[in-house]
Amino acid sequence: MSWAASGQTHSGPWTLAECIRHAQENNLTLQQTELQVKQREIQLETAKGSRLPMVSGSASENFSFGRGLTADNTYSNTNTTSTGFSLGTSVPVFQGLRISNGIKENELGLKAATADLQKAREDMSVSVAQAYTQILYNMELLDVALNQVGIDSLQLVRLEALLENGKASTSQVAQQKAALGQSRLSATQARNNLNISLLDLSQLLELPDPEGFSIVRPNVPIDGILLGNPEDIYAEAIQNKPAVKAEMFRLDATEFSIKSAKGAFLPSLSASGGIGTNYYTMSAAPSAVFFDQIKNNFSQYLGLSLSVPIFSGFQNRNQVRSAELARTNQRLLLENTKKSLYKEIQQAYYNAVAASEKYRSSVDAQASARESFELVQAKYENGKANITEFNESRDTWLRAESDLVRSRYEYLYSAKLLDFYRGRPLEF
């Protein structure tokens, strides 16, 4: 079956790598995070543009009515018009290094936003892997439930044959029918749980419809998995995890924020220049032609403007203090991020150790329960055990099967999560 989602087509079951890649490309939350990176790119471009000249042009038209001063220093009623054109530019020469520091601060802000996007993608990878693992677990549970239905169906057929020969009672057949009904109910619930987990993953992938969606059931060996040392894992994670990198970039950015704030205490110098001309008419006197006036009234100017801060009502001082507090706060955020990462790795490690022990215990328990069920089944078929003993033994074995399935995937996911903290991709 083919899938068409977000302009992409996919055929057949999905692997974990394909699910992660599709989610990273199509998830709406990640797309919002990508917009934040683009916004940071625009802010950086704006900061770099602060170094460039500001150029503006203007045109004006003025009309004057009533008494006015004439060329011979007398007043008379006249109407005048004036038309002006100008083109000017202003260039920042020195702004207390605020432009340079602002550019560096925005560059680090862009790096931090990019690291945030990488972290969001990693978080999405973990969410997809969790949903994928849940599907695998539910698939195994459905197999167990269907196996239980198969066993009960065979026993019902056997008892009905015995009933016809007078070697089984109607109550035994009724009990087995009830057991089969319960097994089928368990299988229905297991199938529903599987469908729900498939729906959850398809929604993470932003697929339009979960109908027909399926995943690959990998054959991953459990034996031989090495968990590693949590201290060594943390040492690797601290170097490559984007969550830590983002906070480090932000900490570096606060240094330039402080320098920018201190730059307000320094003088600022800017250069300006421009050209202009105008055309003038008076109703009481003849005027030169338009182009002659434009040519004759042409003017140019150059200028320097120096601004020296003397007292700003403590605004500059308080901006520096606020920037320094922001740096202290960012240091705390960085340390808290590292601490949280260390805690996550420790928890993942001990969860993996517990899952490993649980898995090994479940292997032994499942083997013992299966052996016990086979013995009881043989006794039951030979008339040496009743149906109650048979069903109890079967239920114990199937519970052991379910526990083994759960512990296996818990162990697999925990081990892969530790590898993920080392910077390795999540793969089954």
Domain contains 112: no
What percent of the chain is modeled with pLDDT above 70?
Answer: 93
pLDDT confidence tier of residue 8, bands split at 50, 70 and 90: very low
What is the mean pLDDT of the segment spanning 214-233?
A: 79
The pLDDT mean for the chain works out to: 87
pLDDT confidence tier of residue 1, bands split at 50, 70 and 90: very low
A 10 A CB-CB count for 29 gives 13
Q: Residue 35 contacts by C-beta under 8 Å, 6 or more apart in sequence?
A: none
Contact 300, 275 (CB under 8 A): yes
Domain contains 289: no
The CATH number of residue 141's host domain is 1.20.1600.10
What is the mean pLDDT of the segment spanning 97-105?
A: 91
pLDDT at 6: 42
Pairing assessment for the beta strands 67-69 and 75-77 based on DSSP bridges: antiparallel
Q: What predicted TM-score, i.e. pTM, was given to this entire model?
A: 0.81
Provide the domain limits for residue 401: 16-65+125-238+330-421
pLDDT above 50 (res 326): yes
pLDDT above 80 (res 336): yes
Domain contains 118: no
- Which of 50-59, 288-297, 398-407 shows the highest mean pLDDT? 50-59
pLDDT tens for 271-301 read 999 999 998 887 767 778 888 888 888 999 9
What is the mean pLDDT of the segment spanning 40-68?
A: 88
Q: Which comes out higher in pLDDT, residue 12 or 322?
A: 322
pLDDT confidence tier of residue 72, bands split at 50, 70 and 90: low
Domain contains 281: no
pLDDT confidence tier of residue 303, bands split at 50, 70 and 90: very high
pLDDT above 70 (res 73): no
Instruction: Tell me which of 137-141, 311-315, 317-321, 371-375 is least confident.
Output: 311-315
- Provide φ and ψ at 67, rounded to 5°: -70, 140
pLDDT above 60 (res 3): no
pLDDT tens for 160-213 read 887 888 777 788 788 888 888 988 999 999 999 999 999 999 998 988 877 888
What is the mean pLDDT of the segment spanning 74-98?
A: 85
pLDDT at 190: 92
Domains: count for the chain: 1
Q: Which comes out higher in pLDDT, residue 252 or 158?
A: 252
